[in-house]
Amino acid sequence: MSAVTEQSSQVKIQVKDLHKSFGSNNVLKGIDIDIREGEVVCVIGPSGSGKSTLLRCLNKLEDITSGKVVVDGFDVTDPKVDINEVRRHVGMVFQHFNLFPHMSVAENIMLAPVELKKMNKAQARERALELLERVGLKDKADARPASLSGGQKQRVAIARALAMAPGIMLFDEATSALDPEMVGEVLQVIKELAESGMTMVLVTHEMGFAREVGDRVIFMADGVVCEEGEPEQLFGNPQQERTRDFLSKVL
Amino acid sequence: MAQGSESVEGKTYVIGTDTTFAPFEFRKDGELTGIDMDILQAIAEDQGFKVEVRSLGFSAALAALSSNQVDGVIAGMSITDERKDIYDFSEPYFESGVQMAVANKDEDVKGYEDLEGKTVVAKTGSEGESYAKSISKKYGFKVKSLDQSATMYESVKSGSAVAVFDDYPVLAYGIAQGNGLKTVTDKVPGGSYGFAVNKGENTALLAAFNDGLAELKANGEYQKILDEYLADPSAAVPSNFFDLVAKSFPALMTGLWHTLLVTAISFAIAMALGLVFGFLKISHNIVLRGIATTFVNIFRGTPLLLWAFMFYFGLPQLTGWEISVWTAGVLTLSLNAGAYVAEIVRGGIQSVDPGQLEASRSLGLGYGKSMQKVVVPQAFKMMTPSLINQLIISLKDSSLLLAIGFGELLYQGQQIYAANFRVTETLLIVGVIYFIAIMALTKLANYADRRFNK
């Protein structure tokens, strides 16, 4: 609440001159992005270009070296802002799912609502079952994560990220660790989420999916935004040599 | 005739003694008895004071006296010039002398001249040791020093030494108990035994001891005590193995109980210490991490026994606090195990995939909550086998506390074989009890592990 900043309510995420270095290694070298409410932004680019680091700076899983990141009205670079509060507004899905193996599927989803005292256990379970139904896994509520397939695990992870009803969802290569035959079921869930009007940022290697679902595609290389635009334009008529070079290799 | 203004009447003095120096002090049916004990009790009764006897072992009793953990020591101790520099002695209460003994079946060693190139044993710091050393050059033998009569006799019987030099009454008593030795030389008249207090301290106690001793000698009580132990030493010695088991069982069970109790208390404290220092070790704060690393390195990098001596003998001298053998024992075991548990905790937490913490933090849970709900439960599951292992190590390590006279299982075993000289059989019984206790503990811990860490 404390750090509501100036810009219009349209903009959900604002990144200004973001720099991030690990020691002497400069991974992000000045990123500027605005993402509007309901927009689906896909970030593509070669390995090591800084895509994942950018995403992780948005909910401060990485400390920000310099620059400004405003998410849902909170300036996350302001030390006075309670980052835990911000994170409740931002769901995140990881490449390796990171489900909690010592809890059942439902307990994974119930953890945040119950521990953050948003709901009692019964309400949280009801909410978990709703979310599981949405990702098509209601019958797995009491299973252990270890008994699920990769695709099922990632769908549970999405349901878990939705448990606090976030306004923004971040996907960090959500399908990269999946067997090819399971990619479809996860992309389907993400697509439905996009169609529901959720603001989303996806770091992805699925070019076809980025083209189909994205409102905007950002191509990153060497720690900077090299080119951005609507999918048709970026994939169909890339302006930069780097972009053309990258696309020729992956398409 | 008492010197000093203080009176000893009604006071209780703590007296240190050897664990096992039959017939001067030894355990019979669990009770400490012997010439020293009877003389001390008779004098205390005569002079109207009370004594609380601590059976520590000879060297430990002297260390306890120096650190004022005890008021006096009576332990069949010869009065020597070196000792007179540090302690004040009573009038001699027993005229001793050194004798040499060899194994019963040994027909080769009949005198000192047969010892050429051989090894003999003697008790550390005893008259026997200094006598053996004084003639060792002349006859060309080596002297090995051991701490207890029973172990000295065992090494002669087993052949690792050919002869033992010991005080004649002790040898005589042991031989009468069937320790398998025989004496081959005449008694060398020598040292007399005295009761000792710290130099310049407890003068009233010392004076009372002298008065009481004179009284006992005058009324014949003194001779009665000596006769009881020296004239007919073939007291009730268990005749067979099962008799030995039955006789020693109550004392060994007390020992087992102390072993389990000191291990349980120490391990509970070690868990708390280990959790705190384990978390500090993974802290981002360099000072906290330094504190934890220092703690772990100190207690992992030094022997357990050193800390037992340090806490029991050193700390009282440094601080002036009186430290009970339980406190010293628990401190020693818990700090040692705590250092290992800290490493187990650190390793357990670091073995949890960092993605788990990130996932929890990304949901908006704080660091503490994330640790509590997500990381620690998984870490604990991985730590359990190592923790069970450490618990068993601590239980076995508790036997080292016998060095400060803590009455645990192995100590009780020592007390028993020191009186009856059946070392092997007694150690066998003690070993079986340890084995059964540890097997039971392992089964229990594994059951709990399966039950709670599914």
Q: Do A164 and B373 touch (CB under 8 A)?
A: no
Q: Do A111 and B360 touch (CB under 8 A)?
A: yes
Q: Which residues make beta-bridge pairs with A219?
A: A44, A227
| pLDDT tens digit sequence for B373-407 | 999 999 998 899 999 999 999 999 999 999 888 98
Q: Which long-range contacts (CB under 8 A, 24 or more apart) does A238-247 make?
A: A243/A219, A246/A44, A246/A45, A246/A46, A246/A219, A246/A221, A247/A207
Q: Do A61 and B362 touch (CB under 8 A)?
A: yes
* Pick among B363, B371, B452 to test the A interface (most A CBs inside 10 A): B363
Q: Which of residues 278-307 of B touch A (CB under 8 A)?
A: none
Q: What's the CA gap between B179 and B156, in Å, rounded?
A: 10
| pLDDT tens digit sequence for B226-247 | 888 876 444 445 567 788 788 8
Q: What's the CA gap between B371 and B361, in Å, rounded?
A: 10
| pLDDT tens digit sequence for B20-73 | 787 888 887 778 889 999 999 999 999 999 999 998 888 889 989 988 889 999
Residue of B nearest to A157 (CA): B359
- Within 13 A of B436's CA, how many CA atoms are on the CB side? 9
Q: What's the CA gap between A88 and B268, in Å, rounded?
A: 38
> Does residue B411 have a pLDDT over 60?
yes
B423, with CB counted inside 10 A (0-12, 13-18, 19+), is buried
> Does residue A246 have a pLDDT over 90?
yes
Q: Do A112 and B364 touch (CB under 8 A)?
A: yes
DSSP three-state, residue B432: helix
What backbone torsions phi and psi does residue B3 show, to the nearest 5 degrees? -85, 165
Q: Do B364 and A160 touch (CB under 8 A)?
A: no
- Write down the pLDDT at residue B31: 81
Contacts of A160 in chain B (CB under 8 A): 363
Interface ipTM: 0.90
Of residues B108 and B269, the one with the higher pLDDT is B269
Contact criterion met (CB below 8 Å) for B403 and B308: yes
pLDDT band at B179 (very low <50, low <70, confident <90, very high): confident
Sign of CA dihedral B380, B381, B386, B389: positive
What backbone torsions phi and psi does residue B191 show, to the nearest 5 degrees? -45, 150
Cβ neighbours of residue A152 closer than 8 Å, sequence gap 6 or more: A137, A140
- B351 at interface of A, judged by CB pairs closer than 8 A: no
> Does residue B180 have a pLDDT over 90?
no
Residue of B nearest to A163 (CA): B363
Q: What single-letter DSSP state applies at residue B20? A: -
- The overall pTM is greater than 0.90: no
| pLDDT tens digit sequence for A15-54 | 999 999 998 999 999 999 999 999 999 999 998 899 999 9
**What percent of chain A clears pLDDT 70, i.e. is strictly above it?**
96
**Residue positions counted in chain A:** 251
- Write down the pLDDT at residue B231: 60
Contacts of B356 in chain A (CB under 8 A): 98, 100
Q: Do A102 and B378 touch (CB under 8 A)?
A: yes
How many angstroms separate the CA of residue A243 from the nearest CA in chain B?
31
How many angstroms separate the CA of residue A90 from the nearest CA in chain B?
8
Beta strands at B26-28 and B31-33: parallel, antiparallel or unpaired: antiparallel
How many angstroms separate the CA of residue B277 from the nearest CA in chain A?
25
Of residues A128 and B96, the one with the higher pLDDT is A128
Residue of B358, B366, B381 with shortest CB distance to A61 = B358
Give me A40's structure tokens: 């689906």
Cα A185 → chain centroid: 17
Token pair 């990098």 in the structure block, residue = B301
Of residues B246 and B434, the one with the higher pLDDT is B434
